[in-house]
Structure 1
Amino acid sequence: MVGGGQLARMTHEAGIPLGIRFRLLSDTPQDSAAQVVQDVVVGDYRDLDTLRGFARGCDVITFDHEHVPTEHLRALEAEGVAVRPGPDALVHAQDKGVMRARLTELGVPCPRHRIVADPADVERFAAEVGGFPVVLKTVRGGYDGKGVWVVDSAAEAAATTAPFLAGVAVLAEEKVAFTRELAANVVRSPHGQAVAYPVVESVQVDGVCDTVIAPAPGLADELGLAAQQLALRVAKELGVVGHLAVELFETVDGRVLVNELAMRPHNSGHWTQDGAVTSQFANHVRAVLDLPLGDPRPRAPWTVMANVLGGDFPDMYPAYLHCMAHDPRLKIHMYGKDVKPGRKVGHVNTYGDDLADVRERARHAADYLRGVITE
């Protein structure tokens, strides 16, 4: 797996029962996954020779993130390395312009959009979609709200000059009137077997995923099924192998629009570690190795995942005593990261029959771990 973050850490954990030998390409020995994986290569994923050396002896290469240069992946594939998902698929998660163009070609519902050249072009785009506000995104490299701006006027568009001055391609999108954000998570294997998890509600705070509720409460059956079918179709049409998260807007008029794609395990699927028969991480491992996929069905009527963000208390370990005693059914997953304000350092999962109770238990644990509450 290329990338040493928490996704690699949890994917490695899922492969242990299957006897999978896991090799990691990590930026530093201190990265989240590098702390627990035995076979670690420390190096720069942007360097082709480093990637070649890392790939020797691996049956398959997969990813913790989407930032490996597309041309390097094409070179590896040309040399016989099994890259999953392959570069022709992964580029749709790497490049938002390519993604929007391809999804539009497929007839997949998306916000209105256009690549813009400068602030004046942003103003012209705003006029095309009925006025401000509009959303600006760097075509490559953004995540967790980074590289995304909402501009409310021509003056704000003119002030958002940094990406244009840096020569970075910028995608402008209409600001969608949505009631909530959803995510459809699917997994697809090389021979075309695919499974779909229940569609979840994803609650964002300041551009960062805060809470995920599985399944999305109050979602009409026909809309949930349509979202799953859309995600399965996107996975097939783009040739995805492994896990695909399709982030969606549920609009005020009862439709879904595709917001983003991620071709790796995803924050909106963390609930599956404790809430599904087979987790997203286990199914990602199975898929990239072309093993039969596992059952994605939920184990309980409701599962809630709450991210634990860093706060003012650098040592969260003493808080375990309270959280575990308060809720013996609580599942805590920490990433081994240094605690910094606003940084994702872990998550908690709760599950049960009563949604209000499950949500409260998850929120209590996440807030106590970060020091927001003390009892």
Structure 2
Amino acid sequence: MSLRVGVIGGGQLARMMVPAAVNLGIDLRVLAEAEGSPAQLAATAVGDYRDLATVLEFAKTVDVITFDHEHVPEEILRELVSAGHSVHPGPDALRFAQDKLAMRRRLSELGVPVPDWAEVRSEDELAAFLEDHDGHAVLKTARGGYDGKGVRLIRDVGESTDWFRILDEDGRGGSLLVEELVDFRRELAQLVARRPSGETRLWPVVETVQRHGVCSEVFAPAPGTTSRLVDLAASIAVTIAESLDVTGVLAVELFETTDDRLLVNELAMRPHNSGHWSIEGSVTSQFEQHLRAVLDLPLGDTATRAPWTVMVNVLGGPSAGDLTDAYPKALADQPNVKVHNYGKEPRPGRKIGHVTATGDELDEAAFEARSVAALLGSDISIAP
């Protein structure tokens, strides 16, 4: 059986697929955007994922194509499928992770709970939405936003003028997504893996903590969850995965509202920051599971290995140099903590690694993980 997987994108997600691929004897190949990418160990090609000829040539070297990110243009994905290449997730699914408006429309059609939303093409339409929602809302670009980019909390139409101007100057028209400002208690994430033959596996629902639009911490499982919430999160994720024909790992980011509802915030059709804890905390990590899924292999057990797992991102900042310089102190101080270094040049707010602690007590695991992140120079402006 041939096991050659091609990953488009050379970021940390592709990098973290490498150990899982080695263990399973999978020939992992990466189309990286530039030399020296985080996934350089598996980078067999360097080129522009927006160039059809480059992507088609890369696809000839593997049995299945998957992704480190969702930015490959839809037309290129469809050309890959037309040329007979196996693509997971496919373009019909991936478009809902690429286009927030398409995602909101489809989830609404499926009856999946989402915030109140509207597509707006002008400041007048935005003004009408603000008037109906107590004068404040969340405005998003339909494409391209992540880690807080392409998202604005607005209280006045004037705060959107530049975005509408860009849409007008583009010459193709366009629209923005506006949503109610959700009164939420906390943010959660539910990961599910699905293989082409239909088998699904769920990890425990987790709590995610955001700082300035960037994920800072993840607690697995989410503390204080009721069986009703667990069942609802699972039902939402499986419904989306099956209805959109998602293959691979799907991350469903959720709001737990103050009136005990769950609303879908975002979707990611690939391994996700909210699932990094699973490397140490789960029988099968999200990275191994993603490879199993896209190859249509039986999925692994997702049970937890410890009562609690805490993941803390290491973010570039003024004191973040080469992470290895801090290893002697950090590794000696907390030997229970596992460090993942992405090999990235640090800059303010950039994810350059993460640390994970497991244990019987949540507070102790959180303290250990936070301590090591701080010793590694994580940006204190968004650290807990």
Same fold flag (TM > 0.5)? yes
Pair 1:277-2:280 in alignment: no
Partner secondary structure for residue 300 of structure 1? coil
Partner secondary structure for residue 143 of structure 1? coil
Q: In the alignment, what sits opposite 2:354?
A: 347
Pair 1:141-2:148 in alignment: no
Could you tell me which runs of 5 or more consecutive residues in structure 1 were left unpaired when the two chains were aligned: none
Verify the 8 A CA contact 2:219 2:310 in the aligned structure 1. Answer: yes
CA distance in 2, matches of 1:55, 1:135: 39
Letter in 2 for 1:46: R
Structure 1 residues 68-87: aligned runs within 5 Å = 68-87=72-91
Q: Is the alpha carbon distance of 1:118 and 1:372 closer, same or farther for their aligned partners in structure 2, counting shifts above 3 Å?
A: closer
Pair 1:268-2:252 in alignment: no
CA distance in 2, matches of 1:196, 1:29: 35
Q: In the alignment, what sits opposite 1:359?
A: 366
CA distance in 2, matches of 1:57, 1:267: 28
Q: In the alignment, what sits opposite 1:335?
A: 342
Pair 1:25-2:31 in alignment: yes
Displacement, 1:340? 1.2
Q: In the alignment, what sits opposite 2:120?
A: 116
CA distance in 1, matches of 2:16, 2:27: 14
Q: Is the alpha carbon distance of 1:63 and 1:166 closer, same or farther for their aligned partners in structure 2, counting shifts above 3 Å?
A: farther
Q: In the alignment, what sits opposite 2:109?
A: 105
Counterpart selection for 1:317 from 318, 324, 337: 324
CA distance in 2, matches of 1:170, 1:188: 31
CA distance in 2, matches of 1:12, 1:329: 23
Structure 1 residues 118-267: aligned runs within 5 Å = 118-128=122-132, 130-158=133-161, 161=164, 163-167=166-170, 168-267=174-273
CA distance in 2, matches of 1:321, 1:169: 51
Return 360-369 or 265-274, whichever deviates more.
360-369
Letter in 2 for 1:315: D
Displacement, 1:371? 5.8
Displacement, 1:22? 1.0
CA distance in 2, matches of 1:154, 1:281: 42
Q: Is the alpha carbon distance of 1:147 and 1:79 closer, same or farther for their aligned partners in structure 2, counting shifts above 3 Å?
A: same
CA distance in 1, matches of 2:344, 2:168: 34
Cα deviation 1:234-293 (Å, max 9, x = unaligned):
100000000000000000000100000000000000000000000000000000011110
Partner secondary structure for residue 255 of structure 2? strand
Q: TM-score, normalised by structure 2?
A: 0.94
Displacement, 1:161? 4.3
Aligned residue pairs, count: 370
Counterpart selection for 1:326 from 326, 333, 340: 333
Q: CA RMSD in A?
A: 1.4
Return 15-24 or 168-177, whichever deviates more.
168-177
Could you tell me which runs of 5 or more consecutive residues in structure 2 were left unpaired when the two chains were aligned: 1-6
Cα deviation 1:317-358 (Å, max 9, x = unaligned):
121111111111110000011111211000000010111111
Partner secondary structure for residue 51 of structure 1? helix
Q: Is the alpha carbon distance of 1:310 and 1:166 closer, same or farther for their aligned partners in structure 2, counting shifts above 3 Å?
A: farther
Q: In the alignment, what sits opposite 1:40?
A: 44
Verify the 8 A CA contact 1:314 1:340 in the aligned structure 2. Answer: no
Pair 1:90-2:97 in alignment: no
Partner secondary structure for residue 58 of structure 1? coil
